[in-house]
Amino acid sequence: MKNQTNISFVVPAYNSAKTLVESIDSIFDGNFVEGDEVIIIDDHSTDSTPLICRELSEKYHPNVKIIYNTENRGCPASRNVGIRDSKNEYIFNLDSDNILPPGAIQKLRDSIVVGKTDLVSFQNYHYFRDDISKISHRWICKSGRLTLPDLFSGLINPAPGGNFLYRKSMWSKVGGYWEYGKGLHEAWGYSFKLLINNAIFIVVPDTFYYHRFSHKSLFVRENKKHNESINVTNRFIKDSLNIFSDQSILDMQRDPDWFNHLEKHSLTLRTGDIGTNGKNIYTSKVRQILYLTKKIFI
């Protein structure tokens, strides 16, 4: 039976044949309750993703709905398509290659309902490639409230990953995801959009999910395009430059790729508030070397 805490899990999928089943199974393994729904948006895939979508719909009938885009629209546009078609007030993003541990969603569900916040996220990312038992490194984000200054103090926070739970009413209020490109930095851009509209964003302590990283990921693929990262991130902030200090505006003019350099050179807001970045912890020195030499990040 549907209640006021039900979630619509929205999962865009493009050529995700190798990872989609594991991701969807993780929703139903201790994270799905009666009244929830799963919406998979096949973004005009060219592999066997459409077939796998049909199989998942049959396996979890009637709790899985499939939407087929008639053209490749990209991840942010596909998210908007799924959210528009959702029936519940709460939306959870899950990328088609990431995995939820059993029981992980309930902590977020409790936090957003009891705390009356606009969106909540996991505190920790456990990065893996093919096997969740082999974690290469962990992002440990600051728990508690995520603020605009935090967004510009570095990239180790929930915003770049985007696997978080939020109110559909807040999505409507800000006009949904910016549909810039195929999806590079789209989750960060959406987080920025929410925060400049005074959304309350809480990072729930002692929570985590499994985040896959791969040389074939959307992030890596789109990031290779000439100036794509610069073009997208500068579009995100172009109408909000008044929030930055004069020095930060000069810094951004000198370095249009400021986003990818936040770890070394954070930006400051006109208010003078200073943000906090999280920590990146490697599981071993060997994994750290492999990770850095492959230059694979999200």
Residue 227 is predicted with a pLDDT of 79
Measured in residues, the chain has a length of 298
pLDDT value of position 228: 87
pLDDT on residue 159: 96
DSSP states of the chain: ---TT-EEEEEEESS-TTTHHHHHHHHHTTS--TT-EEEEEE-S-SSSHHHHHHHHHHHTTTSEEEEE-SS---HHHHHHHHHHT--SSEEEE--TT-BPPTTHHHHHHHHHHHTT-SEEEEEEEEEESS-TTS--EEEEPPPEEE-HHHHTS-S-SSTTT--EEEEHHHHHHHTS----TTSTTHHHHHHHHHHTTT--EEEEEEEEEEEE--TTSHHHHHHTSTTHHHHHHHHHHTT-GGGB-HHHHHHHHH-TTGGGGTTTS---BTT-------EEEES-HHHHHHHHHHT---
pLDDT of residue 1: 44
Confidence of residue 137 (pLDDT cuts 50, 70, 90): very high
67: its two tokens:
């939407």
Report pLDDT for 283. Answer: 80
pLDDT score of 82: 98
Domains of the chain: 7-294 (3.90.550.10)
Note whether 182 and 222 are within 8 A (CB): yes
Report the candidate in 275, 288, 236 with the shortest Cα–Cα distance to residue 258.
236
Q: What is the pTM of this model?
A: 0.91
Reported as half-sphere exposure (CB side, CA atoms, 13 A), residue 96 has a value of 28
Please give the single-letter amino acid code of residue 146: L
Residue 23 has pLDDT above 80, yes or no: yes
Whole-number Å distance between alpha carbons of 185 and 162: 9
Instruction: Return the axis-axis angle of helices 20-28 and 49-59, rounded to nearest 10°.
Output: 20
pLDDT value at position 17? Answer: 96
CA atoms within 13 A on the CB side of 120: 22
Mean pLDDT throughout 125-143? 95
Q: Convert the pLDDT of each residue in 57-106 to its tens digit.
A: 999 999 999 999 999 999 999 999 999 999 999 999 999 999 999 999 99
Return the higher-pLDDT residue of 296 and 48.
48
Among 40-44, 132-136, 281-285, whose mean pLDDT is lowest? 281-285
> What's CA 296's distance to the chain center, in Å?
17
When pLDDT is averaged across residues 32-43 and rounded to a whole number, the result is 98
Please list, in sequence order, all residues whose beta carbon lies within 8 angstroms of the beta carbon of residue 61, skipping any fewer than 6 positions away: none
Position 205, amino acid: P
What's the pLDDT at 116? 81
33: alpha, beta or left, given left = phi > 0 and alpha = psi -120 to 50? Answer: beta
Instruction: Convert the pLDDT of each residue in 181-234 to its tens digit.
Output: 878 899 999 999 999 999 999 999 999 999 998 745 554 554 555 578 899 999
Contact (CB, 8 A) for 32 and 5: no
Q: Which of 47, 45, 207, 189 is nearest to 112 (CA)?
A: 207
State the chain's mean pLDDT as an integer. Answer: 91
For the ranges 43-47, 178-182, 236-240, 259-263, the lowest mean pLDDT is seen at 178-182
Per-residue pLDDT, averaged over 131-157, amounts to 96
- Cβ atoms of 218 and 75 closer than 8 Å: yes
